[in-house]
Amino acid sequence: MEIDRIDERTPNQLRPLICSRNVLNRAHGSSSWSQGDTKVLAAVYGPKAGTKKNENPERACIEVIWKPKTGQSGKLEKEYEMILKRTLQSICILTINPNTTTSVIIQVVSDDGALLPCAINAACAALVDAGIPLKHLAVAVCCGLADSGDVMLDPTKLEEQKMKAFTYLVFPNSVFSVLPEGSLQVEGEPVENGIITSVTQGLMSVSFKFVQVEDYLHCIERGRAASAKMSAFLRRSLQSQLPSDTLKAG
């Protein structure tokens, strides 16, 4: 079942991850996140006073601005802004700073596939850097589905184009807890198995009796496994940079 990938990765292998925080001076929080040749910068400003029109003033409001690498933002960027906004809303504790707006600005530096997951990871790290109160972290991963039905994680742009379908999945990171084992389970599944965001593109099909969703469930399974690794990485890289925070405060 082994399939060849251009960069000789195994199907389950992610590209090298690099995360650095506090990369921008003027922003309240910032991060840069790269997965192979895909790189995104995220900056967080806020919380600033007041909310926008049509937003609930009893909660904190999150605004996302997506800057493409070149040119003006179009429909795709608007969609990404909406997905990112809703995803971040679900991990932030919005009741703490009501009637404020936090702006998240995403600047694409280079796109080599899995752009949206990369931006979500960057935004999440930038929120931590800015000290915005969060319920938990989110980890995003892209699962590509080859014609043969095999799942390939974190595809490059070239692979994405050849894929019959792919799906972006966002999971909460695994929680370390002092509570006894099993107390953090929802419907028999651990919390980190819940899907925050799912976006799919392309047909997913397998010959199955009624509904052919096996492909999708397969993607979720692989995505979850990868997200555990990624959340470990995220935790590591956030912790290692903590001393710099204390320095900054002092």
Partner 1 sequence: MGLPNVSGDFSSEMDVDAFRRLFPLRFYERHLVESIRPDARPLGRARDTTLALGAVTSTDGSALAKIGLTTMLAAIKMEVMTPSIETPDEGCIAIDFHMPPICSPLVRPGRPAEAEPVVSKQLCDTILSSGMINMKELSLISGKAAWMAYLDIYCLDADGALFDAALLSAVAAFSHLQIPVVSMNDDGRVVIISEEHQEGKDPVNKEKRKLTLSSIPFSLTSILHKKYILADPTAEEESIMDTLVTVVLDSSGRLVSLYKPGGTVLAYTSAIQDCIALTRQRVKELRNILDEAVSGMEVD
Nearest approach in angstroms of CB 167 to partner 1 is: 7
- In three-state secondary structure terms, 221 is helix
**Which C-beta is closer to partner 1: that of 36 or that of 81?**
81
**Which C-beta is closer to partner 1: that of 98 or that of 202?**
202
Residue 75: partners with Cβ closer than 8 Å, 6 or more residues away: none
CB of 145 closer than 8 Å to CB of 167: yes
**Which C-beta is closer to partner 1: that of 26 or that of 209?**
209
Q: What are phi and psi of 121, to 5 degrees?
A: -65, -40
**Which C-beta is closer to partner 1: that of 24 or that of 219?**
219
Separation of alpha carbons 175 and 180, rounded Å: 12
Nearest approach in angstroms of CB 214 to partner 1 is: 9
Task: Check the CA dihedral 186-191-195-196 and report its sign.
Answer: positive
**Which C-beta is closer to partner 1: that of 153 or that of 169?**
169
Specify the residue for token string 């608007």.
Answer: 78
The footprint of partner 1 (CB under 8 A) covers 54, 74-76, 78-79, 82-83, 85-90, 165, 167, 170, 172, 186-187, 189, 191, 193-205, 210-213, 215-217, 220
Question: What do you get for the CA distance between the two ends of the chain, in Å?
Answer: 55
Nearest approach in angstroms of CB 199 to partner 1 is: 6
CB of 11 closer than 8 Å to CB of 144: no
Residue 234: partners with Cβ closer than 8 Å, 6 or more residues away: 19, 121, 124, 125, 137, 139, 173
Nearest approach in angstroms of CB 244 to partner 1 is: 30
Phi and psi based region of residue 133 (left: phi greater than 0; alpha: psi -120 to 50; beta: remaining): beta
Separation of alpha carbons 108 and 116, rounded Å: 10
Nearest approach in angstroms of CB 100 to partner 1 is: 18
Neighbour-count burial of 202, counting CB atoms closer than 10 A to its CB (0-12 exposed, 13-18 middle, 19+ buried):
middle
**Which C-beta is closer to partner 1: that of 125 or that of 219?**
219
Nearest approach in angstroms of CB 44 to partner 1 is: 17
Nearest approach in angstroms of CB 105 to partner 1 is: 18
**Which C-beta is closer to partner 1: that of 36 or that of 113?**
113
Separation of alpha carbons 211 and 222, rounded Å: 20
